[in-house]
Structure 1
Amino acid sequence: MKINDVRLTIVGIPRETGFVSKHIIIELFSDVGITGVGEMSDFSHLPRYAVAVEDLTLSLKTILIGKDPFDLTLINRELVENFPEMQNLYEKGSIIRNGVDTALYDMCGKFLNVSVSDLLGGRMRDKIKVCYPIFRHRLMEEVEDNLAIVRKRYEEGFDVFHLYVGKNVDADEAFLHGIKQEFGSKIKIKSIDFSNLLDWKKALQVVDRLAKYDFELIESPTDRNDFEGLHHFRMRVKHPVSEHVWSFKQLYDMIKFDSLDIFNISPIFIGGLTGAKKAAAVAAVCGKSCLLGTTQELSIGTAAMAHLGGTLENLDYTSDPTGPKLYVGDIVKEPVKYENGYLILPDRKRAGLGLELDWVEIEKYRVPDLSWENVSVHQLQDRTADGRK
């Protein structure tokens, strides 16, 4: 089997916050009639620049056409050479590599008539505990809105939540107080996430203030790439500390400084399933736990993470991929399923990712480019609507 063509399609799908996230659907075509599908998820990250999709299509055709999709290591090495790691959580190259790698796994699974999780080593579990995100408070008035979100999602079966903090600590504390008063132990806060907005000393002050409320772990509590500071922070708190893995150099440095307890691993940030599986193996060798992070993918990207998470022996903490619940639409005929706060792995009897594109929905959400026009910095940072300041 050889790859003989590549097609990229851009969609822009609104989140329930009103923010429109843009994604690229990648299709790899083969000489035996099998098509592999992947997702370059959520290009709406900072920095603000966007790729030219026509040029990207030509570049990927140059790299991929004529390749055997089973040569995953060879192709991923060439992808890194063309879209190198930048040691930044929001780099665009990792998004591109992830989409291609997902499509390769989907194609190979379909050829062998096995699921992607079987290609990744076989399943240890058929469902993954996940949490619903509560985005960062910037105004005190947003507290009640976020409590309403918790009420709604709790009725749908979500009992674990991920809280982004650090912009308005008074509001963060009011929200946590409201959760405690209304739900008691029925609701669990998985993490308070600083998203690298504060240095470690300022983050430590916030943690000291919020520590009277129950949360399981702390995420990204330092300036980006300050791994020595992350170590100092970790030594001063009782909660386990997590950070995203966005390059293998950064992964090495976090191990070197013994900076964290939990590796936050997501294919979108490390550049694909191949890299994510390798990063999780490194964590296991070091005796560290991991969880699955997210940029809030659509069903294709989420299904890929579900297949990955089903294979990981050190997936010890609640994970984050609930993207399909955040969007008003999707681009597959049967979106991934959630039950009682769990992401259900796709049917193992379905080959590849186990999903089928819905071209009616794709045409509904198709957009011409990835530009962001007059969207503000805070909207790109927290994926919020115009009304939030």
Structure 2
Amino acid sequence: MSVEMMEVSVSSAEPLRPAGILQQNRVFLDFFWDLANPDQEVRLKAVENLIHYLKTENKADELEYTFKRLVDGLAHTRETARPGFSLALGQVLSAFEDISLQSILDRIKEKHNLQAVKRKLARNAMFGNLFGVLALHQSGRLVKEPQVVLGCVQLLQCLIQHKQHLKDLPSKTMTDILTEVTVFEEVLLSSLEADLASAFRTPEQMQLLLVALQHFPQALKPKKLKKLLDSSTIINADNIQKLVEVLKMAARSVKKKRVLPSVALDLLKLSLKEDSFQLFWDKAITEGMFKEPSGPTHYLSYRLLGSALPLLSLSQLKEVLSGEVMMHYGEHVVSAQVSLSFKFPSSIYKEKCKLITYSNIIW
């Protein structure tokens, strides 16, 4: 069925009742109060009850009112309320598939237009757009409306420039969307070319390229990469210093979270796939990351070391476990009495100790 045939106006099913009837229905209106409740359990219950009510009553004016309130609530001044309205919008769209996503995307863009909103409300409008895209994504229907996918990506591209407010959420959302769509080359590639060509500027843009490579390798063959990056591969001698800078930015961005940035692990996996692991490990990690004083770049390397072990061959294990990164990690454990956050999972130790024994690796 075409997108045009799927588009049904929420107000066309039956004539709208007088607004007074809505005002009298306290049960219905209370759902929206509960969606803004700070208690997550209350919000989740409100979503469930709202959908049950709409399906049972099947009244066009209440469905229309629901979309109005939910779209408005995406930019709620109370930060804890926005996820509730976003989740509700996504679930209502999932339950009422005759409502086109394009019509809701248009509502979101019109209501939270960053060009028209007052300056003091601009931040709320940014979140309104972001949570609107999240709702469309959570509906599970994006794959059915390719043009809406494009519209969402373009909206997220506009939001990326507001990093001081939204941090890396627009980039992460775009990456999540890419993992699910099937229309990359036909619909998204031309729109994303500038972002893909800027992969070495930020960890988020590099992550976007890596995800696109994983899911759409046919669209990003070496010839296409050469056009985008002036290089047919990502990990090579010419790009090492740029990769080091990306990894440094990634390390600093998760300093307080104490986690391994996904871009680092994905680059490691790509190096194994491209048969450039030795170059990546020696030049980008061992030399590049340890030029910095002890801090985020070292911790990223330790975590990457732990995550790398299950992925490596015996010969690669020998190199890594007798190399400088392992030596630095050992020194760190001894000198800092390292906390649990920097210890390798016991499951990795058990699995790899067997391999180490068989290959006579000396720690």
Pair member with larger Rg: 2
Normalised TM-score (structure 1) = 0.25
Q: Which has the higher helix share?
A: 2
- Greater RCO (Cα-Cα under 8 Å, separation 6 or more): 1
Q: Which has the higher strand share?
A: 1
